[in-house]
Structure formats: C-alpha cells, structure tokens
Amino acid sequence: MAFASDREDINSISMTVLAALVNNYDIDWKDIGRLEIGTETLIDKSKSTKTCLMELFKNSGNHDVEGVTTVNACYGGTNALFNTLNWMESSAWDGRYGVVIAADLAVYAKGPARATGGAGAVAMLIGPNAPLVIETSIRSSFFDNQYDFYKPDPNSEYPTVDGVLSQNTYLNALVKCYDGIKSKSLALGKEDISLMNTDYLCFHSPYSKLVQKSFTQLYWEDLNNGVLSPSDELLSKLEETKEGLKNKEINKLVTKESKTLWKEKTDMTLHLGRN
C-alpha cells in the first residue's frame, strides 16, 4: 500500500506529477490551456487544488488555463478526463493541450476497509495526434443516489462505508453501463459490444477481488445474451435455481469458465495493484 508522509498532501503530490509531465516531455507551460484535477481528497472546502497548481505556471506568465477540481469519490478522475475531452471537441478549444490529474490520499479508520486505502497521482496529457486514441462517440454512464461511501463529518478524513452496499451498487452500475454502451453501439450501426470482440477491459480496482467480480459479471451478461455458451455443468446448475450469480456455486462456476478470457483481457491490468 502506498502512503504519503506528513510533509505531503493532495496539492503537493499533484504538483509533483504535473511538474514531472511538463519537464519529462519538454512541454511549454504556455501550451497548456486546460488543467483539471479529479479527486475525493480535500484540505480546503473552498480553495481548489487546481488553483494551487497554478503556482507552477507563474514563471511562464500563463494564467489563461481553464478547469477546476472535480470532487467525487472514485469517479472524479474519470469525469475530469471526460470534461477535458469535451473541451477539446468543442468550439472553446483554442488548440492547446489539456492536462488531467487524478490523485487521492485515501485513508480509512481501523477495520476491514483500511486495506483498500492508499495514495497515488497520475498526470495525463490530452492533445491531437496522441498514441492512445479515446473513442468519444460511444459512452455510457449510470448515476444513482446511494449512501454506500460518503464523508459527512467535516472534522474527520475517514469516510462512512457500507462495503456490501458499495460493491452491489458498483456492480449494478457496471451492468447498466455495459447495457447502455451495447445499445448505443448498435444504434450507431456498429457491432454489438461483448467480451469476445473487446481486446482488454480495465475496471475500477480498490481491491483485486472486485475486478474479478466485475469480469465475472460481464461474462454472466454475455451468457444471458447468448454471446457465450455455458458448459453442461453450469447449464445443469442453472436449471436448479433462478438465483443467478447470487448463488455461490453458480458464481464459482461462471468465474471458473471465464478464466481463459480473464487471463487474456484483464488479469494484466492488476500488475501495479499487486506489486
């Protein structure tokens, strides 16, 4: 588990990755037109982390930089990326780079959830002619109001967590997004999206087991949609109960049968989380 010393905070680790990105890739500070930070970590309820990072732009004289800090548990970094992509595809884009920073110092009270904590920051340079292209024409979201993870006490950095509700909420959102992106793909005249025609799948990974559960869930969706065929053993078990993945034996069988695709498409995405 990564952690920061008492000499670091969300502002300092975000400054570190921004400075490293600009210096390592010889980027002119004046060529950055948008900076957005996605995080759930706050040290001030009003002053944005983004404004603190503007200190690094002073020597260049560049103060014309759009963007703010997007605060949201887990999803903040994703939304900051989406906002920046939207900016680059809009009439507001002035031809300069966008930079997205996803950073957090996740701290939990003593208990089983503490192991899912940690610290990290990454800076992404968004611009034309990139080696990694993001498909923006097909995107699906699912939002719902649940009290599975929240921070109601302003005097504590510890969240209030309902682990079971949080996992179920996430898996439900995953299924809804999967259904949504499949429908949108077909509506645009493109092929139906499934595990079979997807090269790699990366999931939210507060702990490795959730990633495995996520892949199993999508494998189960493809079984139900007829994209994949169940083994005779699984088919026999499915005839005995209508519980689906809530049945432990069925869950184990589906996980077992998805193992080959899991190794090909997702297992390697956990390399950093495991080491």
Q: Tokens 């299924």 map to which residue?
A: 175
Residue 176 backbone class (left: φ over 0; alpha: ψ -120 to 50; beta: rest): alpha
Query: How far apart, in Å, are the Cα atoms of 227 and each of 63, 130, 193, 219, 223?
Result: 52, 33, 10, 9, 6
Residue 217: per-residue pLDDT: 98
Residue 216: band (very low, low, confident or very high) from pLDDT cuts 50, 70, 90: very high
Residue 36: per-residue pLDDT: 98
Closest CA to 150 of 73, 210, 80: 73
Contact 100, 190 (CB under 8 A): no
Find the helix or strand (DSSP H, E) in which 125 lies.
strand 118-126
For 209, the token pair is 């087991």
Whether 40 is a known active-site residue: answer yes
Q: How far apart are the C-alpha atoms of 157 and 42, rounded to whole Å?
A: 9
The dihedral built from the CA positions of residue 76, 77, 80 and 86, taken in this order, carries a sign that is negative
Whole-number average pLDDT of the chain: 94
Q: Which of 55, 89, 202, 204 is the catalytic position?
A: 204
Q: Which of 40, 66, 221, 257 is the catalytic position?
A: 40
DSSP alpha helix (H) spans, the chain: 10-24, 49-53, 76-88, 163-187, 208-224, 232-238, 248-257, 259-265, 271-274
pLDDT digits (tens, 9 = 90+) for 231-274: 999 999 999 988 999 999 999 999 999 999 999 999 999 998 88
Choice between 22 and 163, residue whose per-residue pLDDT is larger: 22
Whether 271 is a known active-site residue: answer no
Residue 3: per-residue pLDDT: 85
Q: Which of 8, 74, 157, 177 is the catalytic position?
A: 74
Helices 208-224 and 163-187: crossing angle in degrees, nearest 10, is: 40
Residue 168: per-residue pLDDT: 95
Whether 74 is a known active-site residue: answer yes
